[in-house]
Structure 1
Amino acid sequence: MKLSEFKFAVEQEFGAGYGGVVVDDLVLDRLGGRTARAALAAGVPAREVWQALCEATDVPLDRRHGPAVREPGAASR
């Protein structure tokens, strides 16, 4: 997952306004107690950050691949 795909997925799942709040303020245990923005800045892959956000916010399993991705790994093809 590219960073642009991550940003698109966040916007589609959470909305333009709330998506920014989720990325900036939600502390994710799975990412060492960092926010999504801090994890990305530290070099954590966007796919891993997206999965942590999905887990923490109970995004349904069928939407965890992102809005433009139909199957795991399809975005990297």
Structure 2
Amino acid sequence: MLNKKESYAIIDKVLSYCNYYTMATLISHEEGLTRFANSEIHQNVFKSNNTLEITIHDGKKQSKNSTNILDDESLKELVRKTEQNL
């Protein structure tokens, strides 16, 4: 799960790549499951997911896209594809 500082860094980064009015939403989600059988832990599963969704407006149209890959190149590609869809 991302902390507050990491979350703001990702949002600031993606907004710096945009040429239009942009809204960014970052959702961080964790879930876990533990199964017991015969009074023992049988299975333990933990999943963490971070999803960034951006909506770009150019005054008349808007385009929305999302990703769960948060490295620099993927963020640039997300912005590029979203701007192309305008």
Bigger strand fraction: 2
Please give the TM-score of this superposition, normalised by the length of structure 2. 0.29
Please give the TM-score of this superposition, normalised by the length of structure 1. 0.31
Larger radius of gyration: 2
Could you say which structure has the greater relative contact order, defined with CA pairs below 8 angstroms and 6 or more residues apart? 1
Bigger helix fraction: 1
